[in-house]
Chains A and B, each alone.
Chain A
Amino acid sequence: MAWTRKDLVSMQDIEAAEIGEVLDTAESMKEIATREIKKVPTLRGKTVVNLFYEASTRTRTSFEIAGKWLSADVINFSASGSSAEKGESFLDTARNIEAMSPDVVVVRHKAAGGPALLARHLRCSVINAGDGAHEHPTQALLDLLTIREKKGHLEGLNVTIVGDIAHSRVARSNIYAMRRMGMTVTVAGPPTLIPPACQELGVKVSHRLEESIAHADVIMMLRLQHERMTGGFIPSLREYSRVWGLGLDRLQHCRPDVLIMHPGPVNRGIEISPEVADSQYSVILDQVTNGVAVRMAVLYLLAGGKAA
Chain B
Amino acid sequence: MTFREKAEVLDQAGLDRALTRIGHEIVEQAGGADLALVGIKTRGETLAARIAQKIASIEGQRPAVGALDITLYRDDLGTRVEQPQVRSTEIPFSLKGITVVLVDDVLFTGRTIRAAMDALMDLGRPRVIRLAVLIDRGHRELPIRPDYVGKNLPTSRKETVAVMLAEHDGQDRVVIQEPEEGEASADGAAPRKREATTTPPRRTIKKGRE
Q: List A residues at the B interface (Cβ < 8 Å).
A: 2-4, 21, 24-25, 27-31, 35-37, 39-42, 46, 70, 297, 300-301, 303-308
Residues of chain A with a CB closer than 8 A to B122's CB: 35, 37, 39-40
List 28 A-B pairs, Cβ < 8 Å.
A3-B82, A24-B85, A24-B86, A25-B85, A25-B86, A27-B88, A28-B89, A30-B88, A31-B89, A35-B123, A37-B122, A40-B72, A40-B119, A40-B122, A41-B73, A41-B118, A42-B73, A42-B77, A46-B78, A70-B72, A300-B72, A300-B83, A300-B86, A303-B78, A305-B81, A306-B78, A308-B78, A308-B79
> Chain B residues with Cβ under 8 A from A301's Cβ?
83
Q: Which B residues are CB-close (under 8 A) to A31? A: 88-90
For the complex, give the distance between the alpha carbons of A30 and B72 in Å.
13
B87 interface hit (Cβ, 8 Å): yes
Is the Cβ of A3 less than 8 Å from the Cβ of B83?
Answer: yes
The answer to whether B86 and A307 touch across the interface, beta carbons within 8 angstroms, is: no
Contact yes or no, A308 B80, CB < 8 A = yes
How distant is A20 from chain B, measured CB to nearest CB, in Å?
Answer: 11
Chain B residues contacting A300 (CB-CB under 8 Å) are 72, 83, 86
B69 at the interface (CB under 8 A from A): yes
Question: Which residues of chain B are near A304, meaning CB under 8 Å?
Answer: 77-78, 83
Residues of A within 8 A of B118 (CB): 41
Are A28 and B83 in contact, CB atoms less than 8 angstroms apart?
no
Kindly list chain B residues whose C-beta atoms are within 8 Å of the C-beta of A46: 78
Separation in Å of the A266 CB from the closest CB of chain B?
Answer: 31
**Distance A28 CA – B85 CA, assembled complex (angstroms):** 10
List the B side residues contacting A40 at CB < 8 Å. Answer: 72-73, 119, 122
> C-beta contact mask, B63-74 vs A, less than 8 Å → 1, else 0?
000000100110
Closest CB of chain A to B96's CB: distance in Å?
A: 10
Which residues of chain B are near A41, meaning CB under 8 Å? 72-73, 118
Interface residues of B (CB under 8 A from A): 69, 72-73, 77-83, 85-90, 118-119, 122-124
Closest A residue to B73 using CB positions: A41
Q: A307 touching B88 by the CB < 8 A rule?
A: no
Nearest A residue to B77, CB-CB: A304
A25–B72 Cα gap in the complex (Å)?
A: 11
Nearest-Cβ distance from residue A68 to partner chain B, whole angstroms:
14
Give the nearest-CB partner of A44 in chain B. Answer: B77
- Give the docked Cα–Cα distance between A41 and B89 (Å): 15
Residues of B within 8 A of A24 (CB): 85-86
| Across-interface contacts of A28 in B (CB, < 8 A) | 69, 86-89
List 11 other contacts, CB 8 Å, given A307-B78, A308-B79: A2-B82, A3-B82, A27-B88, A28-B86, A31-B90, A37-B122, A40-B73, A46-B78, A300-B86, A305-B82, A308-B81
Complex contacts, A29 vs chain B, CB 8 Å:
86
A37–B122 alpha-carbon span in the complex (Å): 7
What separation, in Å, do the CA atoms of A115 and B140 have in the docked complex?
Answer: 46
Measured CA separation A21–B82 after assembly (Å) = 12
Shortest beta-carbon distance from A286 to chain B in Å = 18
Question: Which residues on A sit within 8 Å (CB–CB) of B90?
Answer: 31
Min CB distance B41 to A, Å, is 10
> Once bound together, how far apart are the Cα atoms of A305 and B83, in whole Å?
5
Q: Using known A-B contacts A31-B89, A300-B86, determine if residue A305 contacts B78 with beta carbons closer than 8 Å.
A: yes
Residue on B nearest A40 in the bound complex, by CB: B72
- Which chain A residues lie closer than 8 Å to B123 at the CB level? 35
| Bound-state Cα–Cα, A40 to B121, Å | 11
Q: Say whether, besides A28-B69, A35-B123, A305 and B80 are in contact (CB < 8 Å).
A: yes
Closest partner residue, chain A, to B88 (CB atom):
A28
Give the nearest-CB partner of A103 in chain B.
Answer: B78
Distance in angstroms from B70 CB to nearest chain A CB is: 10
Which of B72, B73, B90, B123 has the most chain A CB within a 10 Å cutoff? B72
Residues from chain A with a CB closer than 8 A to the CB of B81 are 305, 308
- Interfacial chain B residues near A27, Cβ < 8 Å: 88
- In the assembled complex, the Cα of A70 lies from the Cα of B87 at a distance in Å of 15
B85: chain A residues within 8 A (beta carbon)? 21, 24-25
Separation in Å of the A120 CB from the closest CB of chain B? 22
Distance between Cα atoms of A285 and B123 in the complex (Å): 26
Q: Measured between C-beta atoms, what is the minimum distance from B191 to chain A in Å?
A: 14
Point out the residue from B72, B80, B89, B124 that lies within 8 Å of A42, measured CB to CB. Answer: B72
Interface centre among A31, A36, A297, A307 (most CB of B within 10 A): A31
Q: Give every chain B residue within 8 A of A39 (Cβ-Cβ).
A: 122
